Structure 1
Amino acid sequence: MPEDRGYKWRESGARIREARTRAGLTQREVSELLGVSPHAVWCWEAGKTKPSAEHLVELASRCQVSTDSLLGREVVEAELLDEAEASFRNSVAGLPREDLKEIQDFINFVREQRRRKK
């Protein structure tokens, strides 16, 4: 199966199998819960086919894991942080020094408040 969007479906299949077994479910039980054949579940776990988005969400819910963990997308938080940083830089670009100073003061205030809560 060709890779798409950077996902390695064989690795995702292994994650699906691991999540299923940790949840104490058999392939047959998963197939019954999701309304698919046991062979379909086997194919997902073998990386031969991909579950639909709906099946992936339901499977994650039943196994009490995130869809990102099933897809091996643990780096999502880092990617979101990079996007947030880029967005912040774009937002403050061109602001006068006084405004940048106020923003920095606010950031320091928030950090101090969080530090005190710990």
Structure 2
Amino acid sequence: MDYGKNLYELRKKKSLSQEEVANELGVSRQSVSLWETSQASPSMDNLIALARLYEVSLDEIVGLNDTTNKIVYQEEPKFQITYKEDKNTIYRRDYTYLNTTKDLVLFFLSLFFFILALSLFLRAPSVIIEVAKVLIIIGNICVIIGLLIYPLYIFINIKQKLKNQNTINIEFYNEYINYKLNKFKEDLIRYEMIYYYIEKKDYYIVYLIKSNRIYIPKQNNLEIGAFLSKKIERRKRKKPYWKHL
């Protein structure tokens, strides 16, 4: 995203140095310099912090208040997709990959119990039979706990999300995506706010800044893939979550 000039001008209006901005945000001065020269993009958290520091809106930082960047709402969408949330789409969108810190912690907690169980099973043959029985019992308990933690977390979350039974409507325009979760929630997402997308057999997952994502079923429309590839970067796999941090 190229809004380095805006960041530079807003900082100058506040009469702040790059070092002062860096201290306020808890980042290095080099990071601020890279942002202002459009060599790197701040995270969403840093964008929000910058908006507060400069006392402006996020739109003004990314240049949406500029008349050259205003969205033309009257145009017809290039493509439109509507689908209803079910357990498969929720799982694909939210749990195919480790997308949040909570996902990461619970996944590795499950993995820890599996590794602990394996170590106990491997230890059992080398000790006396009474101790071996205890180790095997504890190992089986660890396996059960490992099977419950992360899968149960996913099951409960999917069940809660299914209560809403949202119908998702996604419209693709030249300058933005109109994402309608329901009649009360609608988001306009400019392509500059999209990090990248990955393509699977029958769906796409579009990743926004700070790991938010949009699930897009293909619905036999191959032209959407070509359209997305012109607008945003395509990757073969998701960037590991810890690299977003």
TM-score (norm 1): 0.55
Query: In structure 2, what is the Cα distance between the partners aligned to 1:21 and 1:74?
Result: 19
> In the superposition, relative to structure 1, how do residues 16 and 75 fare at CA in structure 2: closer, same or farther (>3 Å)?
closer
Query: In structure 1, what is the Cα distance between the partners aligned to 2:66 and 2:36?
Result: 22
Unpaired runs of at least 5, structure 1: 1-6, 84-118
- 1:99 — aligned with what? none
Unpaired runs of at least 5, structure 2: 75-245
Q: 1:36 aligns with which of 8, 13, 27?
A: 27
Shift of 1:82: 2.7
Q: 2:43 aligns with which of 48, 52, 61?
A: 52
SS in 2 for 1:56: helix
Shift of 1:57: 0.8
Query: In structure 1, what is the Cα distance between the partners aligned to 2:66 and 2:34?
Result: 26
Higher strand share: 2
Q: 1:15 aligns with which of 6, 24, 35?
A: 6
Query: In structure 1, what is the Cα distance between the partners aligned to 2:56 and 2:14?
Result: 10
Higher helix share: 1
Q: Deviations over 1:45-68 (max 9, x none)?
A: 000000001101111111111111
Q: 1:26 aligns with which of 13, 17, 23?
A: 17
Q: Which runs of 4+ in 1 moved over 2 A?
A: none
- 1:71 — aligned with what? 62
Query: In structure 2, what is the Cα distance between the partners aligned to 1:35 and 1:50?
Result: 16
TM-score (norm 2): 0.28
Q: How does 1:90-109 map to 2 (within 5 A)?
A: none
1:17 is aligned with what amino acid? Y
Shift of 1:75: 6.1
2:50 is aligned with what amino acid? L
| Overall identity of the aligned pairs, in % | 32
RMSD of aligned C-alpha atoms?
2.4
Query: In structure 2, what is the Cα distance between the partners aligned to 1:66 and 1:24?
Result: 18
1:58 is aligned with what amino acid? A
Query: In structure 1, what is the Cα distance between the partners aligned to 2:28 and 2:10?
Result: 18
